[in-house]
Structure 1
């Protein structure tokens, strides 16, 4: 009888196996939805390979954080190198709580404090995509190794207790349905605040100053509140959508650095309704004015008289000549490094392919960081309308030369009240100023040492008296 039962069971399982597998496997629509959510979450911008053109989500890309380099891990469904062995619960816990299956804590360079608000349905679609829609890559990404004491991942336990919330996303009831969708995208999936919100001493977002601007690796992520002078209030809805889609808007600005990456890996691929929803929500963010702003950054549209003598007599009329020059004459450097594309008068090309320096947020801002960083690192961005490229001059110009050409641009085409010196350039070249937390490290280590000495002393005294 037992043999008959076993045979019957075996035949039943064999016959039903294809149907059971089909029932367990996510359908194509769910995987496709997960792919879109991954795009909205900008996952590819960090979890890419160190070299461009590598396999998707294979990791290895180095994120230069203020506390040290963080290497993005492999998140393909590889069982050897990625997340192939993760259950949905493992995946959900890492996304919302910043905890890996082995119990190790993630650093908040992974924006799990924002991803906490992802809906259950979206999280399951995201899991379906990463486990069934991504090609597994068996290359193990290098391990992140921050300097002491930040290499102690257990330090994230009290940090999470202070700054991470378990509350699910709840849209503001008074908003329109479109603005509510935009709020979900801006605050959760797109995690805009992770760059555009300033950080406190412990590197957590200052939620009371949300979207008023932040500093990221030398770049200045600008104020994106609805203020017409300091924020995006002076941009039309169409201009904002075009900026998200293409990475540039004539008379407003050009996306570079981290924003350029967001355009290339995320924003340009979102649907028009979602981009419009993001704009609708941003219009509702309370305006915050920077007291240093006298007018909008794109409002500096007057070209000051440009002397042609420096250009006519320049011996630095191309990038190669600039690289071999020791001059710190901003006009001569501009002639060789910039004028061939941006024009002698900073108006760019007539077709707009080479953007104007006049009426640009980078040249009119009260903060020159983005102008300097653009000179140092260049632009390499793909938008919906094509590939934008500007060479980097970090290896061709020293700090004094970068300051000189930046000051030339500011004086002739932008906010002439702002000036740059070589020391500022050196700081930005190194990734920006050190946060206060990093400056306090010697004191923190000293305090920990004193605590340890105190504990040892108490322990030894107790042993002495007991003996």
Structure 2
């Protein structure tokens, strides 16, 4: 995908589509768009770059990504730079409508005026226009009233721009600028409050994002990534894996594929430096790391010679043998080249939150890096498919894996699997907002009736 974009940009430059004086700005803007991972949301599967149409799961409903190509019919071709900046950093469209914070404008508010200008030049001059118009987002009432975001922004949106911290190095400041801004790491890794705002006092301590759990990435050595060296983090961001510790899947795999692996060594080092300074005062400072749990274990040998239709006492072992052992090994040790990771010393099996284990089994893994493609098939396929496992089977398999290779204190229920299959936990905000509106309407009706009766009584008393 990135090579195709570069070829298209080079063609545009060669054909005079961009003035020579703007070439540097276009390339700077392209780099920033990669750092911001615009592709992950605004390019649908098998769709044209930045043409939108991708459905993004959120706790309050699906949000459809818009077309951000320079098409004047379907995209943002009619935006002035000021309107582009307002959309990017304030969540306000050219028509005045408010964007939902699934578009991480709360993070992009950090971007400097110079970087916003470079992005504008890139999207207007270096991106191919596509005239298609994606479907509209339809959230349930009253969240479909976009003007309500005006009040949300007043509470939670910071002023645009970035102020360097003179007490830290240039590398640390660059890392903070990227992490808090373009890379918008906090958008996924910070838990959210009742109004879906980020809890700033718990920044980067982990949060549920649809079916996946974005883990703690603070420097805490127990619950975070404090035991990783800066080179470990750089290697993970470039490849999506760190042998014996973690593998990227879901939205993080997309971020590796489309964004992090393409950043410069200097920027990756800056990110690693900054992340190494972020503490977590809410987590224990000592104990077993989530990357060092579990050991090699196997009892699938007890199944040899037993017909598949014969009931066995250990259904988890049979499910593991039939679906997992051929790649991850009969003892969960993975392969020597770590292409297939071990299931012990693996963050997906050691978290207190089992969402990532469940989601991995359900949806599989797909990641594209310079090292090559990584693929694990999904086992949550449609019923009657060859690789379909139902909610009960996935719960049984998950518990068997957790007991032998990971956090044995964590248990998975079929109900949890069903929730992850549906796209993750829903927020109570929708029905609470509806209840609030209903209560307000009821109070208004009661007040109107009371005023009417009171007025009638006054007339009768005259």
TM-score relative to the length of structure 1: 0.88
Q: Which residue of 2 aligns with 1:440?
A: 432
Which stretch has the larger CA shift, 448-457 or 138-147?
Answer: 448-457
Q: Which residue of 2 aligns with 1:251?
A: 244
Q: State how far apart, in whole Å, the 1-side matches of 2:197 and 2:155 are.
A: 9
Which of 314, 333, 348 in structure 2 is aligned with 1:347?
333
Deviation, 1:329, is: 1.1
Distance 1:234 1:82, change over 3 A: same
Give the 3-state SS of the residue equivalent to 2:50 in structure 1. coil
Which of 383, 395, 398 in structure 1 is aligned with 2:390?
398
Q: Do the aligned residues in 2 keep the contact of 1:231 with 1:289 (CA within 8 Å)?
A: no
Which of 338, 353, 365 in structure 2 is aligned with 1:379?
365
Deviation, 1:294, is: 4.2
Distance 1:254 1:458, change over 3 A: same
Which of 211, 222, 226 in structure 1 is aligned with 2:215?
222
Q: Which residue of 2 aligns with 1:36?
A: 31
Q: Size of the alignment, in residue pairs?
A: 437
Q: Do the aligned residues in 1 keep the contact of 2:230 with 2:276 (CA within 8 Å)?
A: no
Which of 412, 415, 435 in structure 2 is aligned with 1:423?
415
Deviation, 1:290, is: 3.2
The equivalences for 1:23-422 within 5 A come to: 27-49=22-44, 52-288=45-281, 290=283, 294-310=287-303, 312-313=305-306, 315=308, 329-395=315-381, 396-422=388-414
RMSD between aligned residues: 2.5
Q: State how far apart, in whole Å, the 1-side matches of 2:453 and 2:20 are.
A: 64
Q: Which residue of 1 aligns with 2:7?
A: none
Give the gaps of 5 or more residues in structure 1.
1-20, 317-324
Deviation, 1:218, is: 2.0
Q: State how far apart, in whole Å, the 1-side matches of 2:314 and 2:301 are.
A: 17
Q: State how far apart, in whole Å, the 2-side matches of 1:427 and 1:438 are.
A: 17
Deviations 1:406-426 (A, max 9, x none): 111111211222221111111
Deviations 1:302-357 (A, max 9, x none): 223534112553639xxxxxxxx999811111111111100101111111111111
Q: Do the aligned residues in 2 keep the contact of 1:230 with 1:297 (CA within 8 Å)?
A: yes
Q: State how far apart, in whole Å, the 2-side matches of 1:412 and 1:463 are.
A: 75
Q: Do the aligned residues in 1 keep the contact of 2:89 with 2:109 (CA within 8 Å)?
A: yes
Q: State how far apart, in whole Å, the 2-side matches of 1:159 and 1:326 are.
A: 55
Distance 1:22 1:80, change over 3 A: closer
Q: State how far apart, in whole Å, the 1-side matches of 2:370 and 2:96 are.
A: 41
Q: State how far apart, in whole Å, the 2-side matches of 1:328 and 1:154 are.
A: 55
Which stretch has the larger CA shift, 412-421 or 335-344?
Answer: 412-421
Q: Do the aligned residues in 1 keep the contact of 2:296 with 2:331 (CA within 8 Å)?
A: yes
Q: State how far apart, in whole Å, the 2-side matches of 1:247 and 1:110 are.
A: 24
Distance 1:147 1:315, change over 3 A: same
Deviation, 1:258, is: 1.1
Q: Do the aligned residues in 2 keep the contact of 1:248 with 1:255 (CA within 8 Å)?
A: yes
Q: State how far apart, in whole Å, the 2-side matches of 1:172 and 1:390 are.
A: 43
Deviation, 1:165, is: 1.6
Give the 3-state SS of the residue equivalent to 2:72 in structure 1. coil
Which stretch has the larger CA shift, 291-300 or 330-339?
Answer: 291-300
Deviations 1:391-435 (A, max 9, x none): 111120111100111111111211222221111111222222222
Give the 3-state SS of the residue equivalent to 2:63 in structure 1. strand
Q: State how far apart, in whole Å, the 1-side matches of 2:453 and 2:210 are.
A: 49
Q: Which runs of 4+ in 1 moved over 6 A?
A: 21-25, 325-328, 461-467
Q: Do the aligned residues in 1 keep the contact of 2:191 with 2:205 (CA within 8 Å)?
A: yes
Which stretch has the larger CA shift, 302-311 or 344-353?
Answer: 302-311
Higher Rg: 1
TM-score relative to the length of structure 2: 0.89
Q: Which residue of 2 aligns with 1:322?
A: none
Which stretch has the larger CA shift, 262-271 or 304-313?
Answer: 304-313
